[in-house]
Amino acid sequence: MSRVCFHSDDSYGNVINGATTAVVAGIALDGVKSEIQQALLKIEEKTGKGCKDWYSTKDVAIKVRYIESVLRLSPLVGRIFYSEYPSLARCDYWRVRLDVLAAAITRYTHRGRCEHEMAHEGLKSASREQLQKELKARGLKRVSVETGMVETHPEIRCADALCAYVRSKRFDNTATSRALPALPDWLVNLTPVQTEALRI
């Protein structure tokens, strides 16, 4: 039975009038997980980013080098997914996360039997159990939700950086957003058609 591993995170802007810009993003790996882990560790070392998360990486040049290097990894072409929300209420955070991860599983499910392993940054045990329960309630039976920690998982650090990168390019107009490379056209946009219904 094949296995697809998902590593994801959320990124939110400043809350204004009860809403914020938001991006949920991640990577879907099957058969190349160990290869990508090693490649990401080498990129972190080579670019000087190390094990810091995106927010703690203050040097813009390091952020640019890291993202450029990640986007050059050929096994990730078509395997990076995201969903964007220009105005999202806090009460919708969980539902949006659930919708995007369910859509990602559907998008990357192979024909036949397939297991799915999810690792979303920062979820505590109760939240992981709830996420797994709700995904299974949507008919996604072969799903396990594991710990996703920035400190120990280079794939989660990558998802953390990709979230911030996409949100910066889509919604910000800062020196950092202008320095970062353009979004490649092979990123998989899972933004639902009903985005408008989530605006307030």
Q: Show Cβ contacts of residue 51 under 8 Å, excluding neighbours closer than 6 positions.
A: 44, 150, 151, 154, 157
pLDDT of the residue at 140: 87
pLDDT of the residue at 149: 86
Alpha helices in 32-179, H assignment, sequence order: 33-47, 60-71, 93-108, 125-137, 154-171, 175-179
Q: Average pLDDT in the 86-114 region?
A: 87
- Tell whether the model's pLDDT for residue 6 goes beyond 50: yes
- pLDDT-derived band at 179 (thresholds 50, 70, 90) equals very high
Q: Average pLDDT in the 157-178 region?
A: 95
pLDDT of the residue at 57: 96
pLDDT of the residue at 197: 39
- pLDDT-derived band at 56 (thresholds 50, 70, 90) equals very high
DSSP 8-class letter at 152: T
Q: Average pLDDT in the 110-131 region?
A: 86
pLDDT of the residue at 169: 96
Name the strands in the sheet holding 80-89, side by side, starting at the edge strand that comes first in the sequence.
143-148, 114-121, 2-12, 19-29, 80-89, 188-189
Work out the end-to-end distance of the chain between its first and last CA atoms, rounded to an integer number of angstroms.
43
Q: What domains lie within the chain, and their CATH numbers?
A: 2-190 (3.30.420)
Closest CA relative to residue 169, chosen from 182, 153, 159: 182
Q: Show Cβ contacts of residue 14 under 8 Å, excluding neighbours closer than 6 positions.
A: 20
pLDDT of the residue at 26: 96
With residue 84 as reference, give the H or E element that holds it.
strand 80-89
* 75-96 per-position pLDDT tens digit: 999 999 999 999 999 899 999 9
Closest CA relative to residue 40, chosen from 80, 67, 61: 67
